[in-house]
Amino acid sequence: MRFRVGSLLAVMVVSAAATLLAHHSVPGQFDVSKPMTLKGIISKVDWINPHIYVHLDVKDAGGTTNTWALATLPTAMMRRAGLTRETLQGKPGEEVTITAVPARDGSKHLGWINKITYADGHSFAPTGQ
Amino acid sequence: MNMTHRFLIPITALAMLATAGTALAQVAARAPDRGTVQQLQKLSAKPTPKLADGRVDFNGTWDHLGGIEFVRPVKRADGSICLIACGPAPGGAPPAPFPPVQTDFPKYKPELQAKVADLKKRQVELDSNLRCQAPGVPRIGPPAKIIQNAREVVFLYDDVNGAFFRIIPTDGRPHRKDVPASYLGDAIGRIEGDTLIVETVAFNEDTWLTDNGAFHTKDLKVTERFRRVGDTIEWRATVQDPAILVEPWSLKPQVMWITDIEVEEPARCEDRDVPHIIDGSHHDNPR
C-alpha cells in the first residue's frame, strides 16, 4: 500500500497543469493599461461560458444611458467561490461601482471587470484586490 | 498487481522520495482546499470496491482539479470575494505562489514543424476549442462522472464548452463501422484487473490534441487507462497518430478522487470574445 500511495503522489506531481483551460488572454482583447471606473446599475447578467457578461447601465453627463457589456470569468470559477447570477447582479436598482479595462479593438462600451463594489461596500474581484 | 506495476511502482516511489519536499509543497500550493496529499493518502488507502460480478467498480463522481485549481477564493468578513491571485485572507498568511505551468507536447515529424508553428501562431483564429466545440480526446481530460453497468461505461463531462458524454461498450463489441467521424470519437473498453482501458478512434479533424497547434489526423487513436486505487483513479492517456508523430505521445498522468460534489449542468457556451481579440495571444497552458 505504501508504494501505491507513492505512485499516486508521483503522478500528482507531474500533472500540475495538464488541464488548465486553454483560452485567449485578457490583454489580447482588453487594454489592461487603461483602467476606468464606471458607476451604474446592473441591468442583466448573462450567465454563460466561456465568460459571464455583466450589463451595466451608465448615465453620461448629458443624461443618456449607455449599457456596457463587461466580461468576467467562466461560471465554474464563480461556482467555486459560491457566487451565483443573483449574487453577482446585486439588489434591483442598486448602484454599483465597477473598475474595468476597455476593449482594445475600439468597441464602445465593452470591457473586462477588475472589481465590482456594491452599495453596502462589499466587493467582488475576479483577479486580485 | 501485475508484473509491470511490480517494477514501476518502486521506481516512481523512489523518484518521489527524491523530490518529496518540493512535490508536497507544489500539491499544497495548487489546491489547498482539496486534493491534498493527506486526502489522497487516505482515499487511496481505502479498499478498492468491486461490483457483484467481481469486477472493479468505477462508478462515481470524480474530482481532478478540473483545470481551475488556480481559483482560490478568499472571502472577507464583509462578504467581499476575490477569486484569483488574491492577497492573504484576514489574519492569514499570504498564499503560496501558484507553481509554474508544466507544458507537454507531442513530437511531430520534422517536415510538420512549420505547420505546427503556424497553427500555434493562429490559435485564436483556428482553435475550435475557443468556439464552444467539444475539446476532443484526450484534450477533454478525465470525466467528471462514471456510470458503469454490465455492458458499458458512460463518461459524463461538465466542461466550460458544454455537457459532453461518451458511451463505451465493455462487453466485447468492436468499434462501430457506420458512425461518422466526431469530436469525441468511437470508443470501446475492457476491464483488466483494477484498470479500465478505453480505446477511441473515428475522430474528426476539427480538434487539437492540446494547445499550441497540436493538430491530428482522422487516423488518431487514443488509449486511456483508468486504474482504480481505493477511492482514487490514476488516469493516463496515450496518443497514436503515426503519419504525423515521431512516436506515441503519453500525456502527463492525472489523479481523480471520489467526491460528493455532484456534477452540474454547465451554463450555455456562447463565445463573444474571439471577434474582438487584437493580437491572437492566448493562455500558454494545455488542456
Using the beta-carbon criterion (under 8 Å), do B44 and A23 form an inter-chain contact?
no
Please check whether residue A118 is in contact with residue A94, taking contact to mean a CB–CB distance below 8 angstroms: yes
CA–CA min distance A62, chain B (Å)? 28
Quote the cell numbers at residue B139: 484534450
Q: Which domain holds residue A118?
A: 24-124
Q: Lowest-pLDDT range, A38-42, B157-161, B214-218? A: B157-161
Distance CA B268, CA B169 (A): 29
How confident is the model over A89-100, as pLDDT tens digits?
999 999 999 999
Instruction: Name the residue among A25, A49, A120 with its Cβ closest to that of B281.
Output: A25
Residues in B touching A122 (Cβ below 8 Å): 76, 78-80
Angle at CA of residue A63, ends A62 and A67, nearest 5°: 115
In this predicted structure, the answer to whether residue A68 has a pLDDT above a threshold of 70 is yes
Please check whether residue B287 is in contact with residue A19, taking contact to mean a CB–CB distance below 8 angstroms: yes
User: Is the backbone peptide bond immediately before B275 cis, with ω within 30 degrees of 0?
Assistant: no
Mean pLDDT of chain A: 82
3-state secondary structure of B177: coil
Residues in B touching A71 (Cβ below 8 Å): 272-273
How confident is the model over B38-72, as pLDDT tens digits?
778 888 999 999 999 999 999 999 988 766 667 77
Closest CA to B77 of B89, B86, B88, B93: B89
Q: Establish if A9 belongs to a structural domain.
A: no
Instruction: Name the residue among B76, B229, B279 with its Cβ closest to that of A4.
Output: B229
Using the beta-carbon criterion (under 8 Å), do A128 and B87 form an inter-chain contact?
yes
Domain count, chain A: 1
In chain B, what are the domain boundaries?
A: 38-67+101-276
Residues in B touching A126 (Cβ below 8 Å): 82-84
Nearest CA in chain B to A114: B82
How confident is the model over B94-105, as pLDDT tens digits?
655 555 555 689
Using the beta-carbon criterion (under 8 Å), do A48 and B268 form an inter-chain contact?
yes
Q: Lowest-pLDDT range, B37-51, B179-193, B221-235? A: B37-51
Please check whether residue A50 is in contact with residue A74, taking contact to mean a CB–CB distance below 8 angstroms: yes
Distance CA B206, CA B133 (A): 9
How confident is the model over B244-267, as pLDDT tens digits?
999 999 998 888 999 888 888 999
- The confidence score (pLDDT) of residue B230 equals 96
pTM of the model: 0.82
Domain at B38-67+101-276, CATH from 3.40.50.300, 2.40.128.20, 1.10.3720.10, 3.30.1330.60: 2.40.128.20
Between A77 and B281, where is the model more confident? A77
State the best of A1, A2, A15, A68 to mutate against chain B, taking most chain B CBs within 10 Å.
A15
- The confidence score (pLDDT) of residue B103 equals 64
Task: Tell me how far the alpha carbon of residue A117 is from its chain's centroid.
Answer: 13
* pLDDT-based confidence at residue B92 (cuts at 50, 70, 90): low
Using the beta-carbon criterion (under 8 Å), do B141 and A19 form an inter-chain contact?
yes
Distance CA B81, CA B239 (A): 41
Please check whether residue A8 is in contact with residue B274, taking contact to mean a CB–CB distance below 8 angstroms: no
3-state secondary structure of A49: strand
In this predicted structure, the answer to whether residue A37 has a pLDDT above a threshold of 60 is yes
Please check whether residue B114 is in contact with residue B133, taking contact to mean a CB–CB distance below 8 angstroms: no
Q: Establish if A106 belongs to a structural domain.
A: yes
Between B12 and B152, where is the model more confident? B152
* pLDDT-based confidence at residue B1 (cuts at 50, 70, 90): very low
Q: CATH number for the domain including A73?
A: 2.40.50.140
Distance CA B215, CA B116 (A): 7
